[in-house]
Amino acid sequence: MDGMSNMEQKSYTHMTFFWGRNSEILFAGWPGTRTGMLIGEGLKSNRVVAGVLRTIMHAMRVGLAYLLMLAVMSFNVGVLIVAILGHGVGFFFFGSRAFQKTPPPGKASTDLPATNC
């Protein structure tokens, strides 16, 4: 039995930063050499898919908010009034509980939206 053959069977992790496709994370053979395997493992969880969808929706919401901010920064009073009325009407139909039969679980007793982003 050769000492070199035992060392060839062992795998070692890199102790410095490197760039490469084939690497072992946590244990031998994972994630493998197929790129799709890692993506499939991540997408198996509904929480990951839901997180990706929520992230996309958040990015769209922030983008629209910035567009609205730029419109209001035109210093046109008409644009400002329409923006405020639009937010008010949108909140009435979609944010308030005026058209909901029961409040959703975990909602606060007030209809005011959260002030954090």
Tens of pLDDT, residues 74-96: 888 999 999 999 999 999 988 88
Which tokens in the block code for residue 53?
């969808």
Q: Determine the pLDDT at residue 47.
A: 82
Predicted pLDDT of residue 2: 52
Contact (CB, 8 A) for 47 and 53: no
| Tokens matching residue 52 | 């990706």
Tokens 């058209």 label which residue?
99
Compute the distance between CA of residue 39 and CA of residue 99 in angstroms, rounded to an integer.
41
The answer, yes or no, to whether residue 5 has pLDDT greater than 60, is no
Pick the residue with more confidence: 35 or 65? Answer: 65
Taking the C-alpha atoms of residue 89 and residue 75, their distance in angstroms, rounded to an integer, is 22
**Confidence at residue 70, expressed as pLDDT on a 0 to 100 scale:** 87
| Residue 110 DSSP label | S
What mean pLDDT do residues 51-67 have? 92
Burial class (CB in 10 A: 0-12, 13-18, 19+), 77: exposed
Supply the mean pLDDT for the chain. Answer: 75
Compute the average pLDDT of residues 12-26: 67
- What's the predicted TM-score (pTM) here? 0.47
pLDDT of residue 100: 74
